[in-house]
Amino acid sequence: KHMPKSTPLQELVEGSIPQVPPDLAGIRCGQEVTVRRRCGHAQKMRCDQASNVLPPCTEACSTRSFLCGHNVPVPCHLKQTFTAFNPWSSDTLDSLTERQLLPAGAKPEDPSMPHDDVLKYVKACGKSVTVVKPCGHSAKYDCKQLLKIFTDGEVKSHCSETVTKPLRCGHMASISCRKYQDYAAQRASIECKETAFRPCWNSGVCGHAALPVKCSSDATVCCD
């Protein structure tokens, strides 16, 4: 008698793959089958490699990064770990997602760094966001640069924008925003380059009431 022909398996479902009987365990079938994973992805593999104990699914999933709001490719089996890294408030994350803007004063609610398994995928975003600094100026940051906020605890106001501000002498000066903030906090001095008029100490003799000098100079002046 002829053995009845059976239809070769074309598709298997993870979790429902029949075990190979022990007496057939040595048989190697090189035909390709499709395995439907529990995650929903389909994976092609050799028939004799299909079992209910499979390696993690590495299918790339486009997943929103809670660091910057952009979508990045993440291996399927790391998706849950990746999305567990959610450092911002919901309002801050909405601003990043909808406007690519980190608002002024934003601080991580959870300052812990992402898990080592997903850190490289967090850093993989090649886009940028606009960060509003405490001084009110904004700057473009590569998304991975946002991780520095976790080590600093906040957005540092290292602003290189040029501003025109009044000095204590009353004159205006064009300087970097960062330097002016240090000046305003009395952590730095700024030399005024404007001309000021100072009384001549010898005016009774020379007849000059005042002489032009450099505003920042505190020297006693005389026309002699």
Measured CA to CA in angstroms, residue 36 lies from 8, 12, 20, 52 at distances of 17, 6, 18, 11
**Per residue in 132-181, pLDDT tens?**
988 889 989 999 999 888 777 777 767 888 999 999 888 999 989 989 88
Same domain, 165 and 198: no
Q: How many domains does the chain have?
A: 4
pLDDT band at 7 (very low <50, low <70, confident <90, very high): low
Which of 8-22, 111-125, 141-155, 181-195 is predicted with the least confidence, judged by mean pLDDT?
8-22
| Residue 192 to residue 181: CA distance in whole angstroms | 16
- pTM here is 0.67
Q: Answer with the residue of higher pLDDT: 62 or 222.
A: 62
Same domain, 93 and 130: yes
- Residue 55 located in a structural domain: no
**151-185 as b/e, with b when 16 or more CB fall inside 10 Å?**
eeeebeeebeeebeeebeeeeebebebbbbbbbee
**Per residue in 29-67, pLDDT tens?**
778 888 888 899 998 888 777 676 788 999 999 999 999
- Residue 4 located in a structural domain: no
Residue 91 contacts by C-beta under 8 Å, 6 or more apart in sequence? none
Same domain, 103 and 136: yes
- Residue 167 located in a structural domain: yes
Closest listed residue to residue 103, CA positions, set 86, 88, 83: 88
Domain extent at residue 121:
60-152
